Structure 1
Amino acid sequence: MKSTPFTDTIRVTVSHLDDMKHVNNVVYLQWVQDIAKKHWESKTSENTRSTYVWVVLNHYIEYHYPAVYNDELLMETWIENHKGAKSERHTKITLAKTGQLILTAKTTWCLLEKKRLKPVRITEEISNLFS
């Protein structure tokens, strides 16, 4: 089950840079999490978001090419598959102008019931929102 990619863009600012004048690794990680949240919020109702919450189990990130000040970046994320309470989400970041690959990431998320903070199986309703 690969979902349709959700996309967003971001322009690199000075605050995103490290000492080498490249986007800091921690900033990329934040962007990976931010676009996942935006995707979730774009597909779900307030009621669904008040019932469930996601937590990260792990991230695997590959840095392919450095982004620098004023680069416009295209971010894409999609659900590759899910089983039980776990979901495998992929993220790709490229230079908007050229398509140069900047970063790829794979994140394993776990769905929790928000009140009890206990893992819960991904429902068919939630799965259908992303397929």
Structure 2
Amino acid sequence: MNSVFSLKFIVKSSDIDDLNHVNNVSYVQWMDTVAFEHLAHLTKDNPLPEYVWVVMRHEIDYLKQAVLGDEVIAKTWVGKTRGFTSERLMEFYKDDVLILKAKTIWAMLDSKTYKPARIREKVLNILQPIK
């Protein structure tokens, strides 16, 4: 597994749905936050302003629930990367119990033209640091 990045969330009342657990929309927002923070962490020494990333696909398995006040730890790492796409894998935990697994396919675009840009070695070395 590549370098794992973690971020903590505390479930707020705005995250709760009519069934009194975290709404799927909140999970997707958390996934976006974790992806953004992880990329910022990876690129802090080597910014990549010439590229932007957009979501092409989400796959989410909701395994258990989280409720108001729970602490949820999100873990993410970069998966298969080829062409202009890169997988981001995530797991969310409550009390060390896996509650959600997700895979998102991101596309890298040129920041000026918004056209797909092939992920070359420079970017790959930043996305998948060797530990």
User: TM-score, normalised to structure 1's length?
Assistant: 0.92
1:124 is aligned, of 116, 121, 127, to 121
CA shift, 1:34, in A, is 1.1
1:71-110 matched pairs, under 5 angstroms: 71-95=70-94, 98-110=95-107
Gaps of 5+ in 2: none
Once the two structures are superposed, residues 1-60 of structure 1 have per-residue CA deviations (whole angstroms, 9 ceiling, x without a partner) of x42111110110111100111000011011111101111111114973421100111000
Q: How many correspondences in the alignment?
A: 128
1:9-88 matched pairs, under 5 angstroms: 9-45=8-44, 48-88=47-87
Give secondary structure in 2 for the equivalent of 1:37: helix
CA distance in 2, matches of 1:93, 1:102: 6
Once the two structures are superposed, residues 61-104 of structure 1 have per-residue CA deviations (whole angstroms, 9 ceiling, x without a partner) of 00000100110011001111101101011010001xx2111100
User: TM-score, normalised to structure 2's length?
Assistant: 0.92
CA distance in 2, matches of 1:88, 1:115: 23
Superposition RMSD in Å = 1.4
Q: What amino acid does structure 2 have at the position aligned with 1:61? A: I
Gaps of 5+ in 1: none
